Each structure stands twice: as structure tokens, then as C-alpha cells.
């Protein structure tokens, strides 16, 4: 066993590796970010027991792999399992992730601080996961290449038509009647506090004469666009002051010929991505069971906001999160993706804050306001759990209790 002074030194090194130096950070920031280390070490299965940590073995290949396009590739149902492929970056970790999240959600009164962020017990070496330090090394290079960091707008664009039930949907929200598109803009405005989120004029693939590869899926017959063809085209229409652009399309998408579909995908180099409603149906494709979306339900809104925020985070250079149950976890099925939390873990918040420059308390207070309203308009277990979580997190941030 290590002595107490040795433990302290190790903790400092690991903290720095995970979340970087906090010397210029406010007390509240320090309290929040160090929660990551606290939650990893205080959980019943701690970081030091479950991770093979060798800080000197810097594996460049792992970092490079994390930079690849992140796929959320989903299966089409049990009868099509042979074709289904989980997200490459986290393959194998998803079952553990779901189990931990279920445990999290079973506990309605989540007041135990270590439970705010539940570790994923991956077997991946810590040097292969995208720590804040690893992320910074990539982003600092990117900053040299462009002045992106000075651009404070996230643009959203509707690609082609949407059905009338979606266009005509209105929901009362803080004394106004808004569309599902407005709702997405409001949520992302809070999630990416510090940036401005804006829809631009919707576009038509035909009018733009965009040449996008498409197919009819050989089993379902569903029309699909090849997602990767959108990245350079969307990047080209991103206004000059835009940090990035995210498309939203009704049609189904697929990432490559041999794969079934993808909920959305983003490419950090192009600073563009696209999310589809194509797999938001209540029951995914199994003959005789499949149901199309015919109305805006709480589940549809949940899926939309989760997918958009996750894909946008990829455009901030963030790889899939291997540390905690986090909105940036990879996923191997629609269910996996939707069961993940709505929130980022402290390691991922640290990355996002570096670019967005938000105040953590302000961001969470805005999120709480948003979630209180969501619970009024879309009462459901998912939104309620998210609200309870954020209230517990705020409770921790506002108390004098600390784990520095
Ligand atoms: Zn992803
Ligand atoms: Zn995370």
C-alpha cells in the first residue's frame, strides 16, 4: 500500500492529467472540476484499481484514433444484428455504461456527491482516453491553423422539407409559443452558454444541386443519404462568423455502404455535421412492429436535443468520453444513446468551457430553468431525472462542502 504522501502526489499528477492545471481557475471551477477526480476515486471501483495508468507511456496512436469521425451507428433490431456495428471508439464499453447509468437513475434522491458522475469502468488505458490535456494538445494546434476560437456562432440549418406535424408543432415555453426548432435553439444556447446559436435559411438539396450519394436500404427499403457527403457542402455554406454548422434533416442517413444507419455524425475538420429524424421513430425497423413518427412526443424532443448536443460537442474536438456516464459516451444502439445522461461530465465540461468561456454556475442555473419548463411541457421520467440531477449538482456547487 502506498503511504499518504505518495497518494497525494499521485492524485495531483492524475488530476492534472485528467483536467489540466487549475491554478488560474475560480474556487467554484476548482471545486467542480476536482469532482471528476473525487468521483473516480470514491466510487466503489476506483480509477486506480480499474485503470492501467502509465503516464509515461504516451501513446500517440490512441490520440489520433480519438480524432477520427465519431459514428453513432445503430442496429436495426434483433433480426439484423449481424450488420449492426457499435461506435468504433468505444466498442465493448457500452454494456458497462448502461449498467452504471441504470444504477444512477434508480436512485431518485441522488444527493451523494460521488454519484453525480458515475465512472465507466473501461479497460482502456487512461492515456488512450481523451483527457483534457490530450484534448488541449489537439485544440491548440487547431487554433494555430485558424482563428475559429474567435467565432462565437453555432449555426443550425434545416436541410430539405419536414412533415407538417413537425412544422406546425407549437409548445408554450416561458410565455411564448415556440416550434420544435426554436426549442432546439434554446436548449443548445444554454448547453453551449457563451456561444450564440442561430438557425439560418433552410436549404433544398435539389435547389443547391448538391450531389449526395443515396440508396434504398436493402432490407427496409428506406431512402438514405450518405452522411459524409454533407460535411464539405455544409462547411461551404457556414457564414464567415460561424464557429461551426449543424444540419438537421428528416431523411435517414448512413455512414458507409456496409452499415445500416447513423443518427447523426459530425466532422471536426470541416466543423460541420448533420443529425437526422430518420431513426427517431418509436419502434425501430422490425417488420410488423416498426412505427413511424407521427407526432412530437417527449421522446422525440429528448432524442433531438441529445443528438444535436452530442454531435455539436464533436465539433469542439471532443471525442467519446471514457470516464463517466456522460452525454459524450459512445453508443452501440439507439437505446444506449438515449439512456445516456443529458449532461457532460467535469472532464468534458472543462473542454467545452475552454472554448465557450462560460461560468459553470450560470450555465447550470440556465439549464435548470430550461428543465423546469421542459418538465411542465413534456412531463416524463427522463426530463424529471435530468432536473433532479441538475438540482443536486447545483446544491453541491452552492454549499461550502468541497473535495479539493
Ligand atoms: Zn459521438
Ligand atoms: Zn465526459
Pairing of strands 196-203, 223-226: unpaired
Query: 55 C-alpha to center of ligand 1: Å?
Result: 26
Residue 255, pLDDT above cutoff 60 = yes
Residue 350, pLDDT above cutoff 60 = yes
For the stretch 134-143, pLDDT in tens is 999 888 887 7
Residue 207, pLDDT above cutoff 60 = yes
Domain membership of residue 151 (yes or no) is yes
Domain membership of residue 403 (yes or no) is no
Cα–Cα distance between 289 and 295 in angstroms, integer? 18
Query: 378 C-alpha to center of ligand 1: Å?
Result: 26
For the stretch 20-33, pLDDT in tens is 988 889 989 998 99
Nearest to 138 by CA among 252, 221, 255, 60: 60
Using a pLDDT cut of 70, give the percent of the chain over it: 73
Domain of residue 391, residue span: 10-398
Q: Across all residues in the chain, what is the average pLDDT?
A: 79
Percentages helix, strand, coil for the chain (3-state, rounded to 5) are 45, 15, 40
Q: Please, which residues have CB less than 5 A from ligand 2, an ion?
A: 321, 326, 328, 345, 348
Residue 144, pLDDT above cutoff 80 = no
Query: 279 C-alpha to center of ligand 1: Å?
Result: 16
pLDDT score at 283: 67
Cα–Cα distance between 197 and 208 in angstroms, integer? 24
Residue 125, pLDDT above cutoff 90 = no
Domain membership of residue 293 (yes or no) is yes
Residue 44, pLDDT above cutoff 60 = no
Query: 34 C-alpha to center of ligand 2: Å?
Result: 14
Query: 206 C-alpha to center of ligand 2: Å?
Result: 38
pLDDT score at 90: 25
Largest CA distance in the chain: 69
Cα–Cα distance between 384 and 284 in angstroms, integer? 25
Q: Sorting pLDDT into bands at 50, 70 and 90, what band is 287?
A: low
From residue 34, alpha-carbon distances to 53, 113, 194, 347 in Å are 18, 12, 22, 9
Query: 104 C-alpha to center of ligand 1: Å?
Result: 21
Query: CB of 282 within 8 A of CB of 293?
Result: yes
Q: What integer is the mean pLDDT of 330-357?
A: 91
SS3 category, 237: helix
Residue 66, pLDDT above cutoff 50 = no
Domain membership of residue 1 (yes or no) is no
pLDDT score at 156: 98
DSSP 275-326: EESTT-SSB-S-TTT-B---S--HHHHHHHHHHHHHHHHHTTT-----SBS-
Query: 287 C-alpha to center of ligand 2: Å?
Result: 36
CATH code at 384? 3.40.390.10
Domain count, the chain: 1
For the stretch 362-385, pLDDT in tens is 999 999 999 999 999 999 999 999
252 forms beta bridges with 224
Residue 188, pLDDT above cutoff 90 = yes
pLDDT score at 10: 45
Query: 295 C-alpha to center of ligand 2: Å?
Result: 32
Nearest to 349 by CA among 12, 23, 18, 14: 18
Domain membership of residue 4 (yes or no) is no
Domain membership of residue 174 (yes or no) is yes
Query: 319 C-alpha to center of ligand 1: Å?
Result: 7
Q: What integer is the mean pLDDT of 283-297?
A: 75
Check residues 249 and 54 and name the one with the higher pLDDT: 249
Least confident of 132-146, 265-279, 344-358: 132-146
Q: What integer is the mean pLDDT of 192-197?
A: 97
Domain membership of residue 192 (yes or no) is yes
Amino acid at each position: 500500500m502506498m503511504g499518504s504522501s505518495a497518494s497525494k502526489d499521485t492524485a495531483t499528477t492524475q488530476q492534472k492529467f485528467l483536467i489540466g492545471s487549475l491554478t488560474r481557475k475560480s474556487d467554484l471551477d476548482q471545486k467542480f472540476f476536482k469532482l471528476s477526480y473525487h468521483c473516480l476515486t470514491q466510487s466503489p471501483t476506483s480509477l486506480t484499481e480499474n485503470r492501467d495508468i502509465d503516464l509515461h507511456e504516451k501513446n500517440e496512436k490512441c490520440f489520433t484514433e480519438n480524432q477520427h469521425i465519431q459514428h453513432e451507428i445503430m442496429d436495426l433490431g434483433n433480426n439484423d444484428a449481424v450488420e449492426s456495428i457499435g461506435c468504433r471508439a468505444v466498442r465493448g464499453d457500452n454494456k458497462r455504461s448502461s449498467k452504471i447509468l441504470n444504477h444512477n437513475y434508480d436512485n431518485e434522491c441522488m444527493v451523494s456527491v460521488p454519484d453525480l458522475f458515475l465512472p465507466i469502468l473501461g479497460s482502456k488505458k487512461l492515456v488512450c482516453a481523451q483527457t483534457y490535456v490530450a484534448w488541449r494538445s489537439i485544440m491548440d494546434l487547431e487554433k494555430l491553423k485558424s482563428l475559429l476560437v474567435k467565432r462565437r456562432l453555432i449555426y443550425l440549418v434545416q436541410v430539405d422539407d419536414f412533415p407538417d406535424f413537425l412544422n406546425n408543432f407549437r409548445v408554450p415555453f416561458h410565455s411564448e409559443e415556440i416550434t420544435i426548432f426554436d426549442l432546439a435553439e434554446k436548449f443548445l444556447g444554454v448547453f453551449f452558454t457563451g456561444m450564440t446559436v442561430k438557425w439560418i435559411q433552410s436549404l433544398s438539396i435539389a435547389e443547391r444541386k448538391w450531389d449526395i450519394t443515396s440508396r434504398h436500404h436493402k432490407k427496409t427499403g428506406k431512402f438514405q443519404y450518405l452522411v459524409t457527403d454533407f460535411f464539405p457542402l455544409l462547411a461551404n455554406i457556414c457564414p464567415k462568423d460561424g464557429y461551426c454548422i449543424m444540419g438537421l434533416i428528416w431523411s435517414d442517413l448512413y455512414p458507409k455502404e456496409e452499415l445500416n444507419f447513423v443518427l447523426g455524425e459530425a466532422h471536426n475538420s470541416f466543423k460541420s455535421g448533420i443529425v437526422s429524424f430518420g431513426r427517431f421513430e418509436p419502434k425501430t425497423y422490425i417488420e410488423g412492429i416498426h412505427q413511424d413518427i407521427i407526432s412530437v412526443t417527449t421522446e422525440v424532443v429528448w432524442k433531438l436535443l441529445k443528438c444535436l448536443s452530442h454531435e455539436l460537442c464533436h465539433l469542439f474536438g471532443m471525442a467519446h468520453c471514457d470516464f463517466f456516464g456522460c452525454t459524450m459516451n459512445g453508443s452501440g444502439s439507439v437505446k444506449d444513446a438515449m439512456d445516456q445522461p443529458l449532461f457532460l461530465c467535469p472532464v468534458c465540461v472543462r473542454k467545452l468551457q475552454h472554448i465557450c468561456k462560460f461560468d459553470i454556475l450560470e450555465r447550470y442555473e440556465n439549464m435548470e430553468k430550461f428543465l423546469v419548463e421542459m418538465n411542465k411541457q413534456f412531463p416524463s421520467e427522463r426530463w424529471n431525472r435530468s432536473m433532479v440531477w441538475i438540482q443536486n449538482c447545483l446544491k453541491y456547487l452552492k454549499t461550502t462542502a468541497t473535495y479539493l
